[in-house]
Amino acid sequence: MQYAILLYTTMWKKSELMHNATLLFLDQIMDPVSEFKSKSGLKRIYSAFFYSIDGFRSAWKHEHAFRQEMAVFVVGAIIALVLRVSAFEKLVLIGVLMLILIVELINSSIEAVVDRVSLERHPLSKNAKDFGSAAVLLTCLLAAATWAVVLFNRFY
């Protein structure tokens, strides 16, 4: 009987050690710490600002669609500011144009990651890129509808 209790206790301790080792292993897999993980506090905000500037520069340099949409944004923002509409309507008109830029940046990010993983054609890669493109299209349709409604209410 004592041998059985000792064996059970030993097995339980080994089991607990294995359980703890498994949890530690799963923790490392599920929550890996990247060497690129940012700092905290003001240094993080400072670094994030310059990472964002780098992102804008890269998008401007490498993404033709981003440059086109930025041109539409600048012209649209000027028109929205000049229009005789309420401040809220100006905000909405400029906001939907900015939303196009935001979704385009996300789409470009998805495309960059897909290309980073593999340049060979694959149905899942095509889906990821097509989904991002569809999101940009929906955002452009939303912007067009928003502008149409505001302009229609203003002039008719």
pLDDT in tens, 112-155: 999 999 999 999 999 999 999 999 999 999 999 999 999 999 98
**6: containing domain:** 1-31
- 24, 71: one domain: no
Per-residue pLDDT, averaged over 30-51, amounts to 78
Domain-located, residue 45: no
Together in a domain, 10 and 87: no
Classify residue 123: in a domain, yes or no: yes
Give the CATH number for residue 99: 1.10.287.3610
Q: Please tell me which residue in 35, 104, 111, 120 is annotated as part of the active site.
A: 104
In a domain, 50, yes or no: no
Residues 96 and 156 both lie in one domain: yes
Asked if residue 142 and residue 76 are part of one domain, the reply reads: yes
pLDDT digits (tens, 9 = 90+) for 56-69: 999 999 999 999 99
In sequence order, what are the residues at sequence separation of 6 or more whose Cβ sits closer than 8 angstroms to the Cβ of residue 44? 38
Within-domain flag for 36: no
104 as an active site residue: the answer is: yes
pTM of the model: 0.75
* Residues in Cβ contact with 97 at an 8 Å cutoff, skipping those fewer than 6 apart: 72, 73, 76, 77, 80, 143
Cβ atoms 76, 146 nearer than 8 A: no
Give the lowest-confidence range in 14-28, 47-61, 76-90, 98-112: 14-28
